Structure 1
């Protein structure tokens, strides 16, 4: 547990020093919030922004970091120490959750304090949706890292998957404004379940099914990553 905590703190510091991570996980959602100032139902945008923050970390940042560790044989060297390589991967998940929570608190705080958005109707459901969303995107991020032969390819794969997903799922823009065909495609995306569940926690609408779907995707993604992942 001590090793996991220390590695998690180290990973958090690395993420916090990365300008790209800070921009996309904190500044970018804030910019979108400001751009939508004056629109009706601005409170409905916040759950999507929280999902987007987590997706940026899990689908874009995490695959490149993990693939870089593998490429530089960091994971293989850890196998010769008392710290198991899987501990570093778990620390990466913990770091993504913490950074996602920081970004979410900042964006939600701006919405509540700056625009008078009401507080969540079901905080427990919102918290469960947040953790499941973080776990889901990290599991998918590990699959991307497992399939990519090199770190740069992992980063590219992550971006190619992340950007369509955040725009078609309703995370960046409401799905109601999308053309019918794109809206139909978005309905099958994992991140759409996260947006729906987070919105349920915020508005009080039922969120049981999307929570179960996210849990299933997390389990399936973790199993796939465990089978496919190469330590070097």
Structure 2
């Protein structure tokens, strides 16, 4: 546990020092919320932006970090130490969770305090949905890191997966405003289940289906990443 805690703190420190991570996971969602503050249904955007923050961290940022560590032989050097591969991966996940939580709290706080958005109806279900959505995004990120040969390729693949997904899944803009064909595509995207779970928990009508689907995606993606990932 001490190794995981230390690695988590180290990875979180690196994320916090990265201007790109700070902007896209903390400042950017809040800016979008302010820009949409004139919308009559601003409350829809808050849980959706939480999913977007998690996708930016887990799908767009994490793959490049892991692939770069492998490219620079960091993973091979760690293999000669008492640090286990599980501790390294857990540290990445915890760092993404904490950074995602920080960005989400800022969005929620801005929405509630500045624009009068109602507090979530089911905080505990919202927390569960948040964790499952974060783990899903990280699991997908690990799959991307597993197939990318270099850090820059992982960054590109992460962006190519993340950007269409946040729009089609309703994380950046409500899916209700998309044309029907695009909404149908979004039905099959993993992040759509995260958005649905967060929104249902926020508005007081949580169901088990999106949570179970997220859990299944986590298991399958983790298994695929474990099978494909190369440590050097």
Q: What TM-score, normalized by structure 2, do the two folds share?
A: 0.99
User: 1:162 maps to which residue?
Assistant: 162
What is the distance in 2 between the residues matched to 1:26 and 1:90? 22
The question of whether the paired residues in 2 share the 8 Å contact of 1:146 and 1:230 is answered with: yes
Q: Is 1:174 paired with 2:174?
A: yes
1:222 corresponds to which residue? 222
Deviation, 1:183, is: 1.0
Q: Name whichever of 53-62 and 70-79 sits farther off.
A: 70-79
- Aligned partner of 2:27 in structure 1 is 27
Q: Which runs of 4+ in 1 moved over 6 A?
A: none
Per mean C-alpha deviation after superposition, the further-off stretch among 198-207 and 187-196 is 198-207
After superposition, residues 1-232 of structure 1 pair within 5 angstroms as: 1-232=1-232
Q: CA deviation at 1:58?
A: 0.2
1-side partners of 2:71 and 2:200: how far apart?
Answer: 41
Aligned residues: 232
CA contact (8 A) 1:4 1:91 kept: yes
Alpha-carbon displacement from aligned partner over 1:84-138 (angstroms, at most 9, x marks no partner) = 1331121000000000000000000000000111111111110000000010000
Contact 2:125 2:206 in 1 (8 A): no
Question: Does the 8 A contact of 1:54 with 1:137 survive in 2?
Answer: yes
Deviations 1:159-196 (A, max 9, x none): 00000000111000000111111111111110000000
* Secondary structure of residue in 2 paired with 1:7: helix
TM-score by length of 1: 0.99
List gaps (5 residues or longer) in structure 2: none
Counterpart CA distance in 1 for 2:120 and 2:34 is 20
Deviation at residue 146 of structure 1 after TM alignment: 0.2
CA contact (8 A) 1:144 1:154 kept: yes
Of 79-88 and 164-173, more deviation after overlay is shown by: 79-88
Question: SS where residue 170 of structure 2 aligns?
Answer: coil
Q: Does the Cα contact within 8 Å between 1:196 and 1:207 map onto a contact in 2? A: no
d(CA) in 1 for partners of 2:161, 2:152: 14
CA distance in 2, matches of 1:17, 1:163: 23
